[in-house]
Amino acid sequence: MEWKPFVLFSLSLSVVGWVWGSEVRGSEVKPTGKHVSPVVDVALQPGKDLKTNVLVGQVVDAQGQPVERREVKLFKGEKILAVAETDRNGYFAFCNVPGGLYRLQTSQTDALCRVWAATSAPPGSYSGVVLVESDEIHRGQILPPARTRLGTALRNPWVIGGIVAAAVAIPVAIAVADDDDEAPPSPATP
């Protein structure tokens, strides 16, 4: 068996991938301008009467300066439970919030909060939420544009598949080609 057909197949697969799709096309990413953070554990603070639970927080910009008069919405699932506005120091508060999972939203950011009663909050819980508003968008798993045709080709799954197929087929073909030798004659038996 010859190894040339395996190599030709692998090379042709690579060329087909290179010509057919010159870029990896994933699902289209549409920036929303909002940054969604991971879930944060927050301990509720006691209210003035010590019987109510208050979720407190602050809205700041990317430089850490407070953002005043910013509307903050409190969501439970898709339902808006309350709306607050930040004061001149960027602080906001929601009263009578029971423990649970909530989403806080401003016009530029979101935060997921796991809210706990002060007595049952885990040790690493925060006493309030800080929402950082920024125009900077971070995307994951998006490569920068390739600067060369080779760089573009190496991002194509068909090309990578051809390279892997060649890496497997060539050694197998060589091993099969070496096995075509005739077996040595067996010793004669008397």
What range defines the domain where residue 118 resides? 35-133
- Establish if 107 belongs to a structural domain: yes
* Reported confidence tier of residue 65, pLDDT bands at 50, 70, 90: very high
Give the tens place of pLDDT for each residue, 45-62: 988 776 778 999 999 998
Calculate mean pLDDT across residues 91-97. 94
Q: Are residues 19 and 56 in the same domain?
A: no
Q: Which pLDDT score is estimated for 116?
A: 93
Q: Are residues 89 and 159 in the same domain?
A: no
Number of domains the chain is built from:
2
Is residue 91 predicted with pLDDT exceeding 90?
A: yes
Q: Are residues 97 and 127 in the same domain?
A: yes
Is residue 165 predicted with pLDDT exceeding 50?
A: yes
Which of 139, 142, 162 shows the shortest CA–CA distance to 21?
A: 162
pTM across the whole model: 0.53
Q: Quick one: what percent of the chain has pLDDT higher than 90?
A: 34
CA–CA gap between residue 10 and residue 173 (Å, rounded): 12
- Establish if 188 belongs to a structural domain: no
**One-letter-per-residue 3-state SS of 31-84:** CCCCEECCCEEEECEECCCCCCEEEEEEEEECCCCECCCCEEEEEECCEEEEEE
Q: Which pLDDT score is estimated for 46?
A: 86
